[in-house]
């Protein structure tokens, strides 16, 4: 899943693809590098970012989605928590709704997904819910995501349309993120495919000493390989080519392990 930011203030590439032609060209280059999904966002989610209006968000993302839908067969995802933006984006050609608030900020977004048969990425966040957070990190994931799954099911979204995202970096510190990587396999008990969004996050900079976000692609690729071995299915990244290489190695290791198990009759 390639990150296509239509924002002036995103933490890594804010303003770099601020017009439609630049964003579409970048998205198509990501497809050439091996992206299967293009995630289009019109509002920065970095801490302290200014909130934009729904109209501003839609003005940024809808022309890009329309153009990409006409120019590529790649799946298109809309990164939004707003129900109306999601509805318009799917009408413009998006296939997936990626909600960093896990359907809990505007629950009507779940109805949009159900009515349009869009796929849904449900992300865990700790923002704004300090009083209800569980001390154990996996328990908190399960508590929050089960609430989101309840909203999804009440709206009529099928389980087959859902992917879960533990929300690396969202109201989480370095230790939170590292523990989530170490315990990632425990999230499989929720029973859904898992998305990993570690790309260029602050914890990678803290571990590697890379202060500039665009210098964290090697660290990102390392987390991608680790999380693939732990069973992650989708990887939301800035640098598609580097992470494709990391996945090729991880998948080769998994294939070798599977072949060895087969030889042993396991």
In the set 202, 216, 228, 236, the catalytic residue is 236
Strands 162-165 and 195-196: unpaired
**pLDDT tens profile 83-136:** 999 999 999 999 999 999 999 999 999 999 999 999 999 999 976 666 678 889
Nearest to 64 by CA among 30, 95, 40: 40
- Catalytic residue status for 16: no
The ranges assigned to domains in the chain are 2-263
- Give pTM, 2 decimals: 0.93
pLDDT value at residue 51? 80
CATH superfamily of 2-263: Dihydropteroate synthase-like (3.20.20.20)
* Torsion angle of C-alpha atoms 90, 29, 194, 103, degrees rounded to 10: -30
In the set 67, 201, 216, 228, the catalytic residue is 201
Nearest to 5 by CA among 48, 52, 47, 42: 42
H helical segments located in 187-266: 202-208, 217-229, 240-263
- Catalytic residue status for 236: yes
Q: How far apart are CA 264 and CA 260, in angstroms?
A: 6
**pLDDT tens profile 238-264:** 999 999 999 999 999 999 999 998 889
Nearest to 108 by CA among 132, 85, 136, 140: 85
**Residues contacting 29, CB < 8 A, separation 6+:** none
């Amino acid at each position: 899943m390639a990150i296509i930011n239509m924002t002036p203030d995103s933490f890594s590439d804010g303003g770099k693809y601020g017009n439609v032609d630049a964003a579409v060209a970048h998205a198509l280059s990501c497809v050439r590098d091996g992206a299967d999904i293009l995630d289009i966002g019109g509002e920065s989610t970095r801490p302290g970012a200014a909130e934009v209006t729904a109209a501003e968000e839609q003005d940024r993302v809808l022309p890009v989605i329309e153009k990409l839908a006409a120019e590529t067969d790649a799946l298109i995802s809309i990164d939004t928590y707003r129900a109306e933006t999601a509805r318009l984006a799917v009408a413009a050609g998006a296939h997936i709704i990626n909600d960093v608030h896990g359907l809990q900020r505007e629950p009507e977004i779940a109805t949009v997904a159900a009515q349009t048969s869009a796929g849904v990425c449900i992300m865990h966040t700790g923002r704004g819910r300090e009083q209800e957070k569980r001390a154990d990190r996996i328990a908190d994931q399960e508590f929050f995501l089960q609430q989101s799954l309840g909203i999804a099911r009440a709206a009529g979204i099928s389980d087959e349309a859902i992917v879960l995202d533990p929300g690396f970096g969202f109201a989480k510190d370095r230790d939170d993120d590292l523990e989530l990587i170490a315990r990632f396999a425990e999230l499989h008990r929720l029973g859904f495919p898992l998305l990993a969004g570690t790309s260029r996050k602050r914890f990678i900079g803290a571990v590697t000493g890379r202060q500039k976000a665009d210098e964290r692609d090697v660290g990102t690729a390392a987390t991608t390989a680790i999380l693939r071995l732990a069973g992650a299915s989708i990887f939301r990244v800035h640098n598609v080519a580097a992470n494709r290489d990391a996945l090729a190695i991880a998948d080769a290791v998994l294939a070798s392990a599977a072949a060895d198990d087969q030889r042993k009759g396991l």
